[in-house]
Amino acid sequence: MSDIPKAFTRKYYDSEYFVGIDGGKGFRRPNGSIEKWSYFNPDGEFLGARPIAKAWKEVFNPRKLLDVGCGRGTFIAYARDIGIEAEGFDYSEWAVSDEGRYPRCKAEWLSLHDATEPWLYEDYSFDLVVVLDLLEHIYLEDLDFVVDQMHRVSSKYLFLEIACVTPQDYGTIIDPGYALEKGKPVPIELECVAVAGHVLVQRKEWWIERLEHDDWWLRRDLEEWFRALVPRHTIQNWNTLLIYEYIG
């Protein structure tokens, strides 16, 4: 049967979501057949986090880093390896628990928190805030609040990676994008993409327009620098990367 809920609460992001112990989360195809999806990652390891963290160090030279929607804390551990004071929070109780947490990430580096509630940090607490594969999980009604909190806690840079509509999606039900409504059933034709918890999927141009802010400058040059430092295969699925610098 389908596991797709009417609202993606923290209970959805359990061991089946990350590890797929029993095959993963069930979703329906438009023909009614049931398939399963998961990250299928038993220990939370991602070796690509090493070159990514090193690139963050070279491009931004941060002292303090916040990983928003940090999952199991893999990036935090690799950032700590190279001397960055990294911490983060996630919506998933399982991901930050002793069972789910990445083994090299200490519990004190992680917090359980909902990004749509006031964040736990003082203004301008971090010189680099990274938000990887989170914004597509935020319902449209909550997006402005989350963006305001990102701006509030960052003193210098925002590093955003967002799952977006890609060229291969053009001409499908996904294009030009969709925004699911909290509490309403997910259309069967979208279950195959919503199974990952993606409730807000748009084109890159939509995000650039939405995130435009007088005090934040989109730094395409820093994106190019970062991409030049990281092996292409490591970030081949990062189709939308946006870097902003605070100029207010």
- Is pTM beyond 0.95? Reply is yes
The pLDDT, as a whole number, for residue 210 is 97
Say if 64 falls within a structural domain.
Answer: yes
Cα–Cα distance, 75 to 96 (Å, whole number):
13
Tell me whether the omega of the peptide bond preceding residue 176 falls within 30 degrees of 0, making it cis: yes
Say if 241 falls within a structural domain.
Answer: yes
The enclosing domain of 54 has a CATH number of 3.40.50.150
How does pLDDT run across 69-110, given as a tens digit for each residue? 999 999 999 999 999 999 999 999 999 999 999 999 999 999
Q: Does residue 17 or residue 237 have the better pLDDT?
A: 17
Say if 232 falls within a structural domain.
Answer: yes
Say if 199 falls within a structural domain.
Answer: yes
Cα–Cα distance, 233 to 133 (Å, whole number):
17
Cα–Cα distance, 23 to 35 (Å, whole number):
9
Say if 148 falls within a structural domain.
Answer: yes
Cα–Cα distance, 15 to 21 (Å, whole number):
7
The pLDDT, as a whole number, for residue 51 is 98
Torsion of CA 111, 114, 116, 118, to 10 degrees: -40
Q: What is the 3-state secondary structure (H, E, C) of the chain?
A: CCCCCCCCCHHHCCHHHHCCCCCCEEEECCCCCEEEECCCCCCCCCCCHHHHHHHHHHHHCCCEEEEECCCCCHHHHHHHHCCCEEEEEECCCCCCCCCCCCCCCCHHHEEECCCCCCCCCCCCCEEEEEEECCHHHCCHHHHHHHHHHHHHHEEEEEEEECCCCCHHHCCCCCCCEEECCCCCCCCHHHHHHHCCCCCEEECHHHHHHHCCECCEEECHHHHHHHHHHCCHHHHCCCCCEEEEEECC
How does pLDDT run across 4-58, given as a tens digit for each residue? 999 999 999 999 999 999 999 999 999 999 999 999 999 999 999 999 999 999 9
Q: What is the mean pLDDT of residues 120-133?
A: 98
Closest to 164 (Cα-Cα) out of 173, 176, 172: 176
Neighbours of 54 (CB within 10 A): 16
Mean pLDDT, the chain, integer: 97
The pLDDT, as a whole number, for residue 243 is 98
Say if 126 falls within a structural domain.
Answer: yes
Cα–Cα distance, 183 to 111 (Å, whole number):
26
The pLDDT, as a whole number, for residue 166 is 85
- The residue range of the domain holding 65 is 49-167+195-246
* pLDDT of 195 higher than 90: yes
The pLDDT, as a whole number, for residue 146 is 98
Cα–Cα distance, 71 to 132 (Å, whole number):
10
The pLDDT, as a whole number, for residue 185 is 96
pLDDT band at 219 (very low <50, low <70, confident <90, very high): very high
| In the chain, % of residues over pLDDT 70 | 100
Say if 7 falls within a structural domain.
Answer: no
The pLDDT, as a whole number, for residue 170 is 77
| In the chain, % of residues over pLDDT 90 | 94
The pLDDT, as a whole number, for residue 1 is 86
* pLDDT of 239 higher than 90: no
Domain total for the chain? 1
The pLDDT, as a whole number, for residue 171 is 82
Cα–Cα distance, 87 to 66 (Å, whole number):
5
* pLDDT of 62 higher than 90: yes
